[in-house]
Structure 1
Amino acid sequence: MTKTHATTVDTFKALEQGCIGSIVGSDVHFFYKDITYLHTTETIFDITSVQQLPKVSIIYAHQGDESFLYDAVIQSGAKGIVIATTGGYTLSKEAAIGARNALNNDIVVVRSSRLSSGVVSLTHMDTHHGYIVAEALNPQKARMLLMLALTKTNDKEDIQQFFCTY
């Protein structure tokens, strides 16, 4: 589900999956009985004893983006960066340098998309560079999942599995 409008009451939509149901009169009709991703109490994430979630920043890619944005995140002590790419598969030369610097500083880098729909799937580039992909999660949701994941592990393979599961 994604909030698609700032003020309307019918703002929450499932962009990729279509309608999840409808309300007719006072009756709620769901089109899907099963949810494939684990959620809420079905996850391994228990933050009841966590005082503060790990710091994770989002960097929105744009024309002419520069690596100093990544340097600022590194200097802030963040544990993760979500890159909201302009399409899903490309990083500018400067963004790639910044992401490499982040990885060299043991910061987890997740590649997402700033577009409103589409899946960011694992490519050779991700495996080669050590990026994690957000799958169907937008940058904001990917940030939240990465913060939760970092309460459990820093292992990139485990974190990638979280993005495939939740």
Structure 2
Amino acid sequence: MPQTAPHHLPHVLVLATGGTIAGKADQRSAIGYDAGGVGGKQLIDGVPGIEQLADITVEQVANIGSQNMNDAVWFALAHRIQHAFETHEADAVVVTHGTDTMEETAFFLQNVIKSKLPVVLTGAMRPSTAISADGPANMYEAVKVATSEQAQGRGVMVVLNDTIHAARWVSKTSTTDLQTFVSVNAGPIGYVDPASVRFLAPAPQASGPVFDLTRLHDNLPRVEIIYGHSNMDARQIDNAVRDGAKGIVLAGIGDGNASTEALAGLDRAVAKGVAVVRASRVGTGLVNRNVEVSDDQHGYVASYDLNPQKARILLQLLLATGVTSATQIQAAFGNGLY
């Protein structure tokens, strides 16, 4: 009787960075906790059945709350992921991460990782010691998505609460709800449960610009986000320029607008060679060119679908690679269609 060939599980590299998923309860309040109290290996060991999905290797890149996420950890992740893919060390990568800045890390990695192999970020809204911790289910489903053949070519994804999101669209929208991540303006790209992975559409042909890690020198230029509000003057804008900002993202009111005085401050910034991108503090909708503000006249860039925090990252990457003209920057921002 012929023997059945052994079934080889895919190899998944798990890169742990801390966050609530690795948190421990604290007595300061009923829902208080300290992020990053549990190691990545402990997280995996606490997920029943995950060993049947993949051959898993765990590495601890950092153990911090994501409010402390920084360029050094971003580049450590990016280089490790790129190396793992180029050397065929891993078939997919899962990154455990705090939820507060998860969308920013996902978007950064989306723009610097050159591979069709899946990268999935996951985390939790409740610490590992909570009565109903969501981390184990999210971890299981992240690995399930990462090992799915359908995940190939989809870039960086975020998986929590049975939902699959693309890095460009996903945002955290609630301080405490389990269903905090929403892909505003676009919707999720799929759903997952312990039995199945379902993507809603074929993998896209393109997913925006990809930057060469070797040209970035492991640091990004300073770009400030200035929040728009009523009775706004230009002091924060002028101070940002004085403090050495190479770019400014306006988290503007409505369609990325601001007061006459603030716009005058942005004009002064442009005149000094500072790149200005108009985004919006509003949670949904696109910031279009030349609507309430004449971008052509002022030399501004419209963020289209990118929220202020993601617009900041894209602008940093562009400036770091020598792209400084408003026309070139606008071209890289696209038109909100990918």
TM over 0.5: same fold? yes
Match of 1:115 among 282, 289, 300: 282
Task: Name the Cα RMSD after superposition.
Answer: 2.1
2:334 maps to 1:164: yes
Change (3 A) 1:36 1:12: farther
* 1:99 paired residue number: 266
- In structure 1, stretches of 5+ residues that fail to align are none
Q: Which blocks of at least 5 consecutive residues in structure 2 are unaligned? A: 1-169
- Point out the structure with max Rg over C-alpha: 2
Give the CA deviation at 1:2: 1.1
Q: CA deviation at 1:137?
A: 0.2
- Structure 1 residue 25, shift from structure 2 partner: 4.2
Relative to structure 1, is the Cα distance of residues 145 and 98 closer, same or farther in structure 2, using a 3 angstrom cutoff?
same
Output the TM-score relative to the length of structure 1.
0.89
Name the CA shift for 1:45/1:115 in 2 (closer, same or farther; >3 Å): farther
1:4-15 alignment runs, 5 A limit: 4-15=173-184
Shift of 1:67: 0.8
Q: 1:107 to 1:2 in 2, by over 3 A?
A: same
1:16 aligns with 2:178: no
Q: Quick one: structure 1 residues 108 and 16, their matched pair in 2 at CA, closer, same or farther if it must change by over 3 Å?
A: same
Instruction: Give the corresponding residue for 1:38.
Output: 207
Displacement of 1:44: 2.9
Deviations 1:80-105 (A, max 9, x none): 00001110153211111110110111
Closer, same or farther in 2 for the Cα pair 1:37/1:145, shift >3 Å?
farther
Residue 254 of structure 2: aligned partner: 87
TM-score normalised by length of structure 2: 0.45
After TM superposition, the structure 1 = structure 2 runs for residues 41-56 of structure 1, keeping only pairs within 5 Å, are: 43-46=210-213, 49-56=216-223
- Relative contact order higher in (CA < 8 Å, ≥ 6 apart): 1
Question: Which has the higher mean CA deviation after the structures are superposed, 156-165 or 56-65?
Answer: 156-165
Runs of 4+ with deviation above 4 angstroms: none
Aligned-residue sequence identity (percent) comes to 35
Would the aligned equivalents of 2:257 and 2:278 in 1 still touch at CA under 8 Å? no
Q: Give the paired residue count.
A: 164
